[in-house]
Amino acid sequence: MAVQSNNTALALAIQPVKGTFTAPTLPADLLRISNLRVQIDGITIANDEYTGSAIKDADAVAGKRVTITYNVKLRPPGGSAPPAAGEFVAGRLLQAAKLTEAIAAAAIPVAPEAVTAATETSVTLGAGAAATENLYRCMPLQVEALGASFKDQLTAIVEYDAGKVATLPQTLDTAPTGSNYQILPNLSYYRSITPDDPLPLSQNLWFGGERWDLRDCNVTGFRAVVPTSTRDTAAYPEFEVTLDCTINETAKEAPPAVPSAGPVPLFRDGQMHIAQTRVGGSTFTVDLGIQSENPPNPNEESGSEPAQLVSSTATVNMTRQKYTKDVLDTLGLADAQGYHSFAAWWGAGPGSTVMIIVPEFRFNYQSPDLGGTFVNESGDLLIDVLDRGVSIVFPYAAA
């Protein structure tokens, strides 16, 4: 009987010790995936020995390189409060891609208080907020004057100074002077610029009636692809992940049942802002630009150590509507090479909302496209080395 592709499952755990497989716990560590691709490349050596004829020996096989790629739907953790450290299974992939997990379990301040000043692009927080520069950068902010619902009141902090001025990623219609605010509880993943290597992952992978135990799984490629769902087409926001792995062991074993994980919010009925301007578009992609290498080591069975991250240059690429010069002058902004913010958020409410925030980027030149009904433009947003340069945030309601 043929083996069906849907009879596939994956579980993953953070691996504290390189070279030592850490068995995931079932069912807690199961993760729903799609578009799994397993690639085993043989490492070969050409044999240049003379054979006394034109016929030569085939290459020798010196080892193998195992690469797996899969997609993970961008599904928030859910629940009424942020999960405990390390509990969000998809977040372990983000940590392996060198994003730092941060949990704010309570709102700041615990009770709403009024902003002390406001403009259309910033609010000055009150006595309940600390006066520490960039302490709250990329955190979700609720401002009551922005609307009646959680979705409408939600915004973000892209810059925060010692005078408690919180810069917003958008331009509001009117300044929310005197409005109550709170920095919301959240589970966040911030791009880390420390020199530390991220911990590898161990994974159980079931397919084809077998279970593969994979150790020293290092992320070698990571993209967050966020397409806009419209009345004509719909698509899921997803992470696309590539990992370099070592096969620790294999066994004949049927896959476990992967429990339901709930709905995936589509990118619509949300907000997207570039340079504090609300914009429309068909898709955006955050690419961490990860490069990795395997250090040679004769003490290892393969002759190489597990892959290590050696470079990461992040960009955001998007296709969006073209705006006139007075609304969004991307050509002039690319010429000037100043810093601007990008932020997008969408979802169904507390625990079911996704925010992706880039507090500072520079415009590369954006190319206009007249190939369709509307004029679009596309190009990269360039991200330099700065703490929290890319943030993926899941906000919750204040208690």
pLDDT on residue 208: 87
- Spatial distance between the Cα atoms of 10 and 269, rounded to a whole number of angstroms: 32
Where does a domain end: 141, 165, 184?
184
Shared domain for 243 and 347, answered yes or no, is: yes
Shared domain for 206 and 69, answered yes or no, is: yes
- Spatial distance between the Cα atoms of 64 and 40, rounded to a whole number of angstroms: 6
Name the more confident of 193 and 127.
127
Digit-coded pLDDT (tens) for 216-235? 999 999 999 999 999 999 99
Please provide the average confidence, as pLDDT, over all residues in the chain: 95
Shared domain for 235 and 345, answered yes or no, is: yes
pLDDT on residue 52: 93
Residue 19 lies in a domain: yes
Show the domain range for 89: 9-42+61-101+191-395
Q: How many CB atoms lie within 10 A of CB 1?
A: 4
- Spatial distance between the Cα atoms of 68 and 240, rounded to a whole number of angstroms: 11
For residue 173, give both structure tokens. Answer: 């219609």
pTM here is: 0.94
Digit-coded pLDDT (tens) for 335-381? 999 999 999 999 999 999 999 999 999 999 999 999 888 899 999 99
Shared domain for 166 and 233, answered yes or no, is: no
Shared domain for 224 and 346, answered yes or no, is: yes
Residue 26 lies in a domain: yes
pLDDT on residue 336: 98
Digit-coded pLDDT (tens) for 11-27? 999 999 999 999 999 99
Where does a domain end: 184, 218, 242?
184
Query: Shortest CA distance to 265 belongs to which of 151, 348, 189?
Result: 348
Shared domain for 367 and 246, answered yes or no, is: yes
Shared domain for 84 and 132, answered yes or no, is: no
Look at residue 309 and tell me whether its pLDDT is greater than 70.
yes
71 strand-pairing partners: 34, 240
Look at residue 1 and tell me whether its pLDDT is greater than 70.
no
pLDDT on residue 56: 93
- Give SS3 for 335: helix
Q: Which residues lie closer than 8 Å to 51 by C-beta, 6 or more apart?
A: 57
Residue 343 lies in a domain: yes
Shared domain for 142 and 245, answered yes or no, is: no
Residue 227 lies in a domain: yes
Residue 140 lies in a domain: yes
Residue 49 lies in a domain: no
Where does a domain end: 129, 164, 184?
184
Look at residue 389 and tell me whether its pLDDT is greater than 70.
yes
Buried b (16+ CB within 10 A) or exposed e, 266-282: bbeebbbbbbbeebebb
For residue 135, give both structure tokens. Answer: 């302490």
Mean local confidence (pLDDT), 319-341: 96
Digit-coded pLDDT (tens) for 227-271? 999 999 999 999 999 999 999 999 999 999 999 889 999 999 999
Shared domain for 75 and 210, answered yes or no, is: yes
Calculate ∠ Cα 328-332-333, nearest 5°.
Answer: 70
Mean local confidence (pLDDT), 160-183: 97
Residue 48 lies in a domain: no
Shared domain for 360 and 243, answered yes or no, is: yes
> Total structural domains in the chain?
2
Residue 50 lies in a domain: no
Mean local confidence (pLDDT), 59-69: 92
Q: What DSSP letter does each residue of 290-315 carry, written as one string? A: EEEE--B-TTSTTSBPPPEEEEE--E
- Give SS3 for 82: coil
Shared domain for 366 and 259, answered yes or no, is: yes
Shared domain for 206 and 259, answered yes or no, is: yes
